[in-house]
Homo-oligomer: A and B are copies of this chain.
């Protein structure tokens, strides 16, 4: 499979259409860019309204035994139950942006087999400790990627035209930091953040763990970074992004973990980022670096560091507003409004 082509011709036509709307040229700033971005990807001068679907992928991390997180691994499973009961941030935000929501166990340590309302696709009960061993075998990593691909296919089949992946996994900022350091060419000191809320000593420990993990894989090729120092939910998100791009559906990236998964997806398919919009820049160190490496610009900076897809879901109303403005505003001609007095640059 290959990534779907983006229609530059339609984008140019959408731009020309924008300039007929009753506002000074360019006065809607980023909103004009967003509308035309969707035009090019939907192949329509007037893009359809958004029908977003959010999938939260949950998995645990063996590296937690090194003490890198402020919360114990049991919280991953507890939060999955919170998602099912509707009490988490992503529940509120998916409701606010009229998105449907799925939750997938791709590798939670707690036994969730009896839990209704989630997708049971556990590849393994938590990843290996990336400090000392590969996080996943090759077969496990491939299986996790397939889980993500399958979720994207299902959402698209159900009519979604905008896909969002969220993450839940205690310890996953450590895994993501390893991946971003290696794939964006940055140092642990610049990339490692406070995660769910470790203190300065906790962060120093994380920097040390990431540094040693990177040493462990220093002779291993980039293509293996995901399985060596990633995680099950991160691999699933990478697969989700790959399938979205191959099926020609835009994705909105969330934060730090999403960026690590996006970098992994780009290792597999270099043009995948053409289908990605960056929602927010996280407070987690190194997220901005990862977005730079992906050549993406975040829409907002709200100092969030939650994951779950929360930042991506938050901006969906802004994206829909951009499309609604593009489609619903009057033109100078239809409204009988006088255009500029003379030819001026603007």
Contacts and interface: CB of A to CB of B under 8 A. Distances in A.
B96 A29 contact: no
A115 interface: no
Contacts of A196: 24, 27, 340, 346
B29 A325 contact: no
Interface stretch (A83-91, A174-182, A227-235, A266-274): A83-91
A70 B343 CA distance: 9
A29 B303 CA distance: 5
Contacts of A344: 70, 197-199, 202
A219 interface: no
Contacts of A24: 70-71, 195-197, 305-306
A31 interface: yes
Given A198-B344, A325-B92, A302 B29 contact: yes
Interface in A292-317: 299-300, 302-306, 310, 314, 317
B306 A340 contact: no
Interface residues of A, number: 70
A186 interface: no
Contact of A92 (B199, B306, B328, B339): B328
Interface stretch (A3-11, A73-81, A154-162, A243-251): A73-81
Contacts of A91: 328-329
Interface in A18-51: 21-31
9 contacts: A23-B89, A23-B306, A24-B306, A29-B304, A85-B335, A89-B329, A198-B344, A300-B300, A317-B321
Interface of A: 21-31, 69-72, 74-75, 78-79, 81-82, 85-89, 91-93, 95-96, 194-200, 202, 283, 299-300, 302-306, 310, 314, 317-318, 320-321, 324-325, 328-330, 334-342, 344-346
Given A96-B324, A197-B346, 11 more contacts: A22-B87, A22-B88, A29-B283, A29-B303, A31-B302, A70-B344, A70-B346, A72-B341, A89-B325, A92-B325, A317-B317
